[in-house]
Every structure is written in C-alpha cells, then in structure tokens.
Amino acid sequence: MTLLTLPIALLLALLAGALLLRQAIGRRRLERIIFEADTPAGKQFDLALLALIVLSVVAVGLESDPSLQSRFEGLFLRLEVGFSSLFSLEYLLRLLCSQRPIAYARSFFGIVDFLASIPPLLGLGAIGGKYFTLIRILRLMRVFRILKLGLYIREADRLKEALLASRRKIFIFLLMMINLVVLIGALMYVIEGEAGGFNSIPTGIYWAIVTITTVGYGDVAPITPLGRITASAVMLLGYSIIAVPTGIVTAELGRSGSGVSDAQPCQACAEPQHLAGARFCHRCGTSLTPGPVSPR
C-alpha cells in the first residue's frame, strides 16, 4: 500500500468499527455518553478524552525536538497513528449518533473535532502533517462542561459584559495610542537617524511601541543625549498609560458587580446577596418581597 491508501483503508476500518459500536450500544445511549457529561459514563468518557488530548499534544511537542525525534522516531509514529485513529473514531461516532449531524459538523467544536482527527490521519505520510494535531488543545475547553464551573462561567459573563461596555473607550484609547507612537517614532527618527539604528519611521514606531509598553527588547536604542532624554520620557509615559485600559475595564466590572439587590437578607436562610431585581432567594427560593406587617 502507498502512503495515501493506507490511511484511507484505516479510516474505512474505523468507520466500520463506529457502525458496529453504534449498533451494539444503541444510538440514544451512545449519544448520551458522548454528548452529555451528566451521567457517570459520560464523565468517564470526557475525562478519558481529555487525557488523550493532553498526551497527544505532549507527544507532538516532544517530537518537535530533533534529538528526541531521531531517537524515538518509530515510537512517535506509532503514537500518532494511535492518537489519530482514536480521535477519528470519536469524530465518526459523534456524527453517527448525533440527532443533527450536519449542525454538529458545522459547529465550532465539530470543526475542531474534524481538524484534530481526519486530516492528521490522512496526512500521516505528509511532511509536517503531524504538527497539525496541536489544534487538539482547543478541545480542552470541554473541561468547563465536565466540572460544571458555573461560578467561573458567571464571572466570565461579567468580564465579557464589561469589555463590551467599555469597547468605545478602549477603541478611543487605542486610537490615541496609535497617534502617539507614530509621533514618537517620527520624532526619534529625526533625533537619532540611521546612526542610532532608526533608519526609517516604521523602525521608530516599532521602538515606540516596544518602549511605551515597557517591553524593551533593546534591539534598537538611542545613543544621543537628546534621544536618551526622549526615551526616558517615553518610558515614564508608558508606566502611566498602562493603567488606563485597566482602569476602564475595572470601572465597568465594578458597575456590573454592583448589580446586587437592595433586598434584605433572606428570612429563611439568611443569604445576604441577591441579584438586582430578584424577587426570590437563589439559595432556598423564599420570596424576598416583604409581606404586610402584622399589628402587634
């Protein structure tokens, strides 16, 4: 067999195995195991899948080392064949047991699952094809579905709302920063010139960005006294500017976080905090609306 027909034959064998598994387990049960993490079998499946993802990415990273690749070339090849076969089988099972296979295939994770399985399997004989499997790291996002990190998801929503609310201010800030680095870059080009390594205005703009963000690579540096004085001012300016976008987002986070109900603590469970506008306690379900005060 050629390098092309071997992966195709392996893919056809995996498809036959996936059909047999669907028939043996049942489509509905297989769907619950693969797509849902609420059952013990579903949690075990997702945890095993995550372990395979981590191991496959580690294997690809180790294989990129020339010394390790020359010593364990056969082992790395067998590992990649095994990982690609398992992920391809998983992708085929998802397609076969899904109620809406086309919708799944066109979804974000469906595309990621496809890119992490079928192309690496077909490209085992291609140069550099195995490094395409690094996209599997994206699938680690499924850990949120397994662990049910509701608190962190809620905080992520708050961060997203804060970023959306402050997008105009951040855009204006970035626009001002662009104008500032262009002016500083042009100024340093005039002050230093080619003798200091500022052989063009884009080079000066690059230096201004690196300096004002306090990164400081040091590959381009002023050598004249006036240039160093200007650079010192730009460095101090960078420290003061860094706090601007942080303050904008922090202020929006404070506003979104202040959306706590002014209602009294729950009379049943004494929960002190509730969402703004909440009428019932999120902890025990007791009404937060005070009833009529009875005469004593």
- Among 5-14, 47-56, 244-253, name the one with the lowest average pLDDT: 244-253
Cross-strand partners of 260: 275
Residue 215's Cβ-side half-sphere holds a number of Cα atoms within 13 Å equal to 9
**Mean pLDDT to the nearest integer, 228-240:** 90
More confident residue, 108 or 255: 108
Share of the chain above pLDDT 90, in %: 24
CA atoms of 208 and 188, how far apart (whole Å): 9
The domain 154-257 having CATH identifier 1.10.287.70: the answer here is yes
Give 248's pLDDT tier (boundaries 50, 70, 90). confident
Superfamily of domain 5-148: Voltage-gated potassium channels. Chain C (1.20.120.350)
223 phi and psi angles, rounded to 5 deg: -125, -15
Give 261's pLDDT tier (boundaries 50, 70, 90). very low
- Among 36-40, 98-102, 198-202, name the one with the lowest average pLDDT: 36-40
Q: Is 249 exposed, middle or buried (0-12, 13-18, 19+ CB in 10 A)?
A: middle
More confident residue, 30 or 163: 30
Identity (one letter) of the amino acid at 177?
A: M
CA atoms of 229 and 210, how far apart (whole Å): 17
CA atoms of 55 and 209, how far apart (whole Å): 38
Domain boundaries, the chain: 5-148, 154-257
Residues 6 or more apart from 181 whose CB is under 8 A from it? 205, 208, 209, 212
3-state secondary structure of 84: helix
Give 129's pLDDT tier (boundaries 50, 70, 90). low
User: What does DSSP assign to residue 200?
Assistant: S
